[in-house]
Amino acid sequence: MLVSCLLFLFLLFTHRRLPVDTAMALRKLCQVGIGSSRNYCTAAKIEARKEALATSPQWLVGLSRWAYYKSYFPTLGLMRDDCLYVDKYVKEAVERLPNDVKVAREFRMSRALILSHSKEILPKEEWTNYDEDVDYLSPIVEKVKDEHRLRKILDEKNGTRKTQGIFGTIGQLLGLQKTLDK
């Protein structure tokens, strides 16, 4: 997320368009993800991340790596998904996490709180590694949001809610269902 914001600002100020291959590489980086628990990093996720980094232009990888380590959260041992704004979707996604991942997340967050309060950072060896930082919570949050959207649509279709939704006809509902499946 931070990398895409930095890249957007870079492009905004330089008024350039990205070449097609660079834009595709950036999309791949964002899809593979950049945020997780070390205990929850599967070999497949790490391998997919390495593959996306290998196919990306070196300047983009360098920029994203630089932005990652300039952030405050890796110095506290946090992952990207630990820094998500906590709303009802994130709370439900955290409840769906396996117990060991949930415990590791709580440990990282409490350690970061203590370090931040004492105005200290971890030793460099204990910082969160850029290559191992893959999504562990963001995909679950997206599923939760899709389920809530679908539940709202079905409630409005069945008439269980009193409010009139933004979707009027069944054709629009079915069209939205197809977009949710993608």
Supply the CATH number for residue 44's domain: 1.10.1090.10
Please check whether residues 169 and 95 belong to one and the same domain. no
Specify whether 118 is located in the same domain as 52. Answer: yes
Note whether 30 and 98 are same-domain residues: yes
Q: Are residues 65 and 85 both part of a single domain?
A: yes
Q: Are residues 66 and 147 in the same domain?
A: no
Query: Mean pLDDT of all residues in the chain?
Result: 75
pLDDT of residue 106: 95
DSSP string, the chain: -HHHHHHHHHHHHHT-PPPHHHHHHHHHHHHH-S---GGG--HHHHHHHHHHHHHS-HHHHHHHHHHHHHSSGGGGT--GGGGS---HHHHHHHHHS-HHHHHHHHHHHHHHHHHHHTT----GGGSPPTTT---SSHHHHHHHHHHHHHHHHHHHHHT-SSS--S--SHHHHHHHHHHHH-
| Span 49-65, pLDDT tens digits | 777 777 888 888 889 88
- pLDDT value for 179: 52
Instruction: Clarify whether residues 26 and 81 are in a common domain.
Output: yes
Asked if 72 and 115 touch (Cβ cutoff 8 Å), the reply is: no
Give the residue from 84, 103, 95 showing the smallest Cα distance to 40.
Answer: 103
Residues 94 and 156 in one domain: no
Phi, psi of 127 (to 5 degrees): -65, 155
Task: Give yes or no: residues 32 and 82 share one domain.
Answer: yes
pLDDT value at 163 more than 60 = no
**Do 57 and 109 share a domain, yes or no?**
yes
Q: Calculate what percentage of the chain has a pLDDT beyond 70.
A: 64
Domain match, 91 and 19 both: yes
For the cut 50, the answer to whether the pLDDT of residue 15 exceeds it is no
- Tell me how far apart the alpha carbons of residues 50 and 27 are, in angstroms, rounded to a whole number: 14
Number of folded domains that form the chain: 2
pLDDT at 23: 44
Q: Which of 134, 135, 141 is nearest to 87 (CA)?
A: 141
Q: Give the domain range for residue 167.
A: 142-181
**Whether 130 and 148 share a structural domain:** no
Quick: pLDDT tens for 113-156.
999 999 999 999 999 988 888 889 999 999 999 999 999 999 88
Same domain flag for 46 and 86: yes
